[in-house]
Amino acid sequence: DAKTTQPPSMDCAEGRAANLPCNHSTISGNEYVYWYRQIHSQGPQYIIHGLKNNETNEMASLIITEDRKSSTLILPHATLRDTAVYYCIVRAVKLSFGAGTTVTVRA
């Protein structure tokens, strides 16, 4: 599975959009981009995934560049409950988690 690079941490103001970047320059054609988040001591929570088209669901939007070498997760209106570690993963079969981005939403 391809490796990903994410910033270690970022802050976001409550009510504002949070844009989380991820680089995956070695992604293969059959690998999907997945985003999960983990709130302290809980199991990871699935957020969204995509192959090459932009995706949106009730939680977030996923923007994948045309060359698929990077992506951005957008939380449109961050709340305090969105404070968590966010993992960007590229997956062919198993999920390979990196260190993720610790997102802190501040009031």
Partner 1 sequence: KAGVTQTPRYLIKTRGQQVTLSCSPISGHRSVSWYQQTPGQGLQFLFEYFSETQRNKGNFPGRFSGRQFSNSRSEMNVSTLELGDSALYLCASSFFSEAYNEQFFGPGTRLTVL
Residues that bind partner 1 (CB under 8 A): 30-32, 34, 36, 41-46, 49, 51, 87, 91-99
Cβ(103)–Cβ(7) under 8 Å? Answer: no
Cβ nearer to partner 1, comparing 69 with 91: 91
Distance in Å, CB of 4 to partner 1, minimum: 12
Distance in Å, CB of 25 to partner 1, minimum: 18
User: What H or E segment, with its residue span, contains residue 61?
Assistant: strand 61-64
Cβ nearer to partner 1, comparing 49 with 69: 49
Question: Of 8, 18, 7, 22, nearest to 79 (Cα)?
Answer: 18
Cβ nearer to partner 1, comparing 26 with 106: 26
Distance in Å, CB of 102 to partner 1, minimum: 13
Cβ(6)–Cβ(100) under 8 Å? Answer: yes
Distance in Å, CB of 24 to partner 1, minimum: 14
Please report, to the nearest 10 degrees, the dihedral formed by the alpha carbons of residues 19, 15, 83, 56 taken in order.
-50
